Chain A
């Protein structure tokens, strides 16, 4: 069994309002030295697949079709 961890976040040029709000809250709490905050979501999949190449291909298709909206979001896949 392979576990796939998918991280989805807004693309670099797309304003992340939630990240901005969290950054602001961290500033108010006097956590200094935070340059940038991006808020994303993590989707964890447990796959029957044992072949890592096939698993990567499958999860990539899942991201393109459903898990991310590639107009505004980027995704990263990690297999563990």
Chain B
């Protein structure tokens, strides 16, 4: 199992992501954004979190024109599995590989804390190790995590089981930290090979650091 992890100027979660997947037994490689192809033995491509290009203009807006993104789009369109975490999610929506957009948190604050998430759909490679309704405790750390999609888009997400996770309390009741439409924390594309979420499962790998709920999430990709 080979996990390739993208690195733009300003990415800062690539080494956490690398550590998390290596702990789970995967081999990893960090791919600099100037690369024009991604390794052919890649089983999962991760767009890691951070602040690519300083979030200038909009989060993810400039990264989408990095040389590597052509190869990423091609990889995704050929059915390759892609996971965008936090800024990676923003990059994937800007690129059009995922529907919707991420805007400034409703309360205008940068939010950095653990938050509970409920699994909404698990008929996909990412969350298949979890059951629908399971609640996981995963850190969030973002300024622009307020997921927006119009009503038609939302209906489509619901009909195709594309909503992966919603922000809730520990009992699975909706608790929305940032104003996201329908409290959405993560979605996938229609073909269920491109995934994006604002929370950081790679930061929830050990109980001593607050939660190991990220293990069950990331493990889905390795099976």
Task: Using CB atoms and an 8 Å cutoff, list the residues of chain A in contact with chain B.
Answer: 10, 13-15, 17-18, 21, 66-67, 69, 71-72
Q: List 19 A-B contacts (CB under 8 A).
A: A13-B150, A14-B103, A15-B106, A15-B179, A17-B104, A21-B108, A66-B57, A66-B61, A66-B62, A66-B65, A67-B57, A69-B61, A69-B94, A69-B101, A71-B93, A71-B100, A71-B101, A72-B101, A72-B103
> A18 near B104 (CB under 8 angstroms)?
yes
Shortest Cβ distance from residue A37 to the other chain B in the assembled complex, whole angstroms? 14
Q: Which A residues are in CB contact (< 8 Å) with B101? A: 69, 71-72
> B57 near A17 (CB under 8 angstroms)?
no
| CB-based A-B contact count at 8 angstroms | 33
With the chains together, A14 CA to B104 CA distance in Å? 11
Q: Which B residues are in CB contact (< 8 Å) with A71? A: 93, 100-101, 148-149
With the chains together, A69 CA to B144 CA distance in Å? 14
With the chains together, A69 CA to B65 CA distance in Å? 14
Shortest Cβ distance from residue A8 to the other chain B in the assembled complex, whole angstroms? 9
Q: Which B residues are in CB contact (< 8 Å) with A66? A: 57, 61-62, 65
